[in-house]
Amino acid sequence: MTQKEFDDKMNEYRWQQTNETASLKLEVERLNSKRRALGQEMQALQQQISSVTAQRDALVLQIKEIGGKYWKLKNDLIRENPKAVPPTCAEAHAEAATC
């Protein structure tokens, strides 16, 4: 095989490879573009999730603070008025002979 024949055959293979892979390369590029778009959507959704989680956590903390405030108020009321505490079953039984 002469150098010219070799070069011609090599160029033919290159041309065939280019023709065979052209549509596949276009599909790969289309899928890459779609993947990038989905990645951007995922990032936006992740930011929304973070924002919603922060808002929820702030509300949960506020609920806990309010609960603590009222627990203290009720506890103070009970301590200041020990007679207002309902009798235990044993105390009620001693007074009424039934529980």
The residues spanned by each domain of the chain are 3-96
Asked if the model's pLDDT at residue 84 lies above 70, the reply is no
Alpha-carbon distance values, 2 to 8, 9, 10, 11, 15 (Å)? 10, 11, 12, 14, 20
DSSP secondary structure letter of residue 2:
-
CB atoms within 10 A of CB 77: 10
**pLDDT, averaged across the chain:** 92
Read off the pLDDT band of 97 (50, 70, 90). low
